[in-house]
Copies of this chain bind each other. A is one copy, B any other.
Amino acid sequence: MNQNRGKKRITVYDTTLRDGAQGEGIHFSTQDKLSYVKRIEEMGSLYVEAGWPGANPKDDNFFQLLREQNFPTVRIAAFGSTCKVGESPENSDILLKLLASGAQTITIFGKAWDLHVRDVLRTNSEENLRLIRESVSFLAQQGREVFFDAEHFFDGFKENPDYALKCISAALEAGAAISILCDTNGGSLPADIARGVEAVKREFAPQELGIHVHNDSGLAVANSLVAVEAGVTQVQGTWNGFGERCGNANLSTLIPLLQIKGNYSVVSESALLKITPFSRFVAELSNAPFDEKQPYVGRSAFAHKAGMHVDAILKNQRTFEHMDPAEVGNERRILISDQAGKANILERLQRFVPDILKEDPRVEKAMLEIKELENNGFQFEAAEGSLDLLMVRILNGFTSPFEVLDYHVWSDPLRGELDSVAVVKVKVGEETVQIASEGNGPVNALDTALRQALAGFFPILEQSELVNYKVRVLDGSRGTEAIVRVIIDTRLGHEVWGTIGVSKNILKASAQALLDALNWTIWKFEGAREVTD
């Protein structure tokens, strides 16, 4: 059954690889970009703006690769500008390279704000209209689909509405398939967007229009929604909201918002289910931090911490969830923290023993143990691996298959690289192994030594990798004698889990977190992982 039937269709134009890459700290290699396009095929029919041909050799090379391969469900767009002041399109290096890219869709931007015409192009209004008209017309005559980005449309419309509309008119008359109204500086309010879109609709209906906004006022998603409500049918944006300054409209938010809340048809139902993992994939590809608080797709988006919320959720999920997390491929998480109650813990134990009852003494036991640990500075909401290990221990499902007999660390920070050495001694069954290992800093040396000592016995450990390491000083007012909390995230395949250690000694806290990570990997992925009740 197609749940999109009968709904108004909105097209997504994805500029992650171009405008997204203009964000601070965002870089994609050619190989990254290729992985991106391959993977985004799953997300259904989308426009993907692949780069600016001629801007750098990397982008040219990428368009070449795209020509050699076939991506049936993705429509590749090349991005560039109009020809230059005083230039004719036939002689424009910019336009010729756009054609040479082979992209079937070409998006060019032109100035729609007279301030830019005067101060940046340093020409007159008529010449700017000529650049738009002749550039669009030249590309359209070559049989390409031409999109016109009306740069700074909303700022221009505010200061000189007639001229802003003339720029749109020039592009459309010259054969642009769609004109995209841009809030390039991100300073417009929803009311400005509505006014601008409505004016263009009045003048050019039933012409199809697009929206491209930035998040400088924290309104990129709202402004895109307002534009769609005012009649725009193409939304431009980037995954995770990457982009220049505060970023572009965030597709990870906007797509579910339009489809689920707004009742538009944007992507297929199956693509919607992949939005959570895809957003995370894009962050990993660009090596940018993933915002876990992101609406819809963040790890915290459906995470409940307050005990009263958890209690209510278990009675009726609508009480504290605005939608079903599964619709976007995300999941509910019940956090165990000092704000949690018995309901949170029961829910966790039931993952291992589904029919355990609230009255079972082990529920009380787990709660007391967790409260005790929390009083000592443990905090399980970001350490679900340690939490589950505790749960299976209490359910009698687990004892560690190894023992750490001893470990020491020696550090000489003035020595440069590999300035630390760790020595560990572990016992597995009847066998005892002692290993020494160097590292950058004492924690890294210890980590390396422990893994080396155990990987021979438990080969699964070689498949897992440590993906994150966090340290927090609890009540730092006791200075360097303060208690330290370490959280480590480990990945195996698609699964990521956190483990925790707490101590006055940062090495000991790190060792605890690390040992939990190793134990949980072994329990979960190697050998019997049944809890016999």
Interface residues of A (CB under 8 A from B): 22-25, 27, 29, 31, 55-56, 115-116, 119-120, 184-187, 189-190, 215-219, 221-222, 225-226, 241, 244-247, 250, 253-254, 257, 261-262, 287, 289, 291-296, 298-306, 309, 311-312, 315-316, 318-323, 335, 338-339, 379, 381-382, 406-414, 419-420, 439-444, 446-448, 465-477, 479-482, 484, 488-489, 503-508, 510-511, 514
Contact = CB atoms under 8 A, between A and B. Distances in A.
Contacts of A246: 293-295, 298, 300-301
Nearest to A242: B293
A225 B316 contact: no
Contacts of A287: 472-473, 477
Nearest to A243: B293
- How many copies of this chain? 2
Nearest to A253: B218
A420 B473 contact: no
A409 B115 CA distance: 58
B24 A315 contact: no
Contacts of A302: 245
Q: Which residue, A442, A444, A477, has most C-beta atoms of chain B within 10 A?
A: A477
Given A24-B300, A441-B480, A480-B488, 12 more contacts: A22-B339, A25-B300, A119-B319, A185-B320, A217-B253, A244-B306, A287-B477, A408-B410, A409-B413, A441-B504, A442-B505, A469-B482
Contacts of A316: 115, 119-120
Contact of A190 (B225, B419, B444, B468): B225
Contact of A466 (B262, B474, B480): B480
B479 A467 contact: yes
13 contacts: A22-B305, A23-B300, A29-B474, A29-B475, A184-B320, A216-B301, A218-B222, A289-B289, A408-B410, A411-B507, A441-B484, A444-B480, A480-B510
Contact of A309 (B244, B475, B508): B244
Nearest to A482: B469
A22 B292 CA distance: 15
A439 B481 contact: yes
A116 to B, nearest CB: 6
A474 B253 CA distance: 27
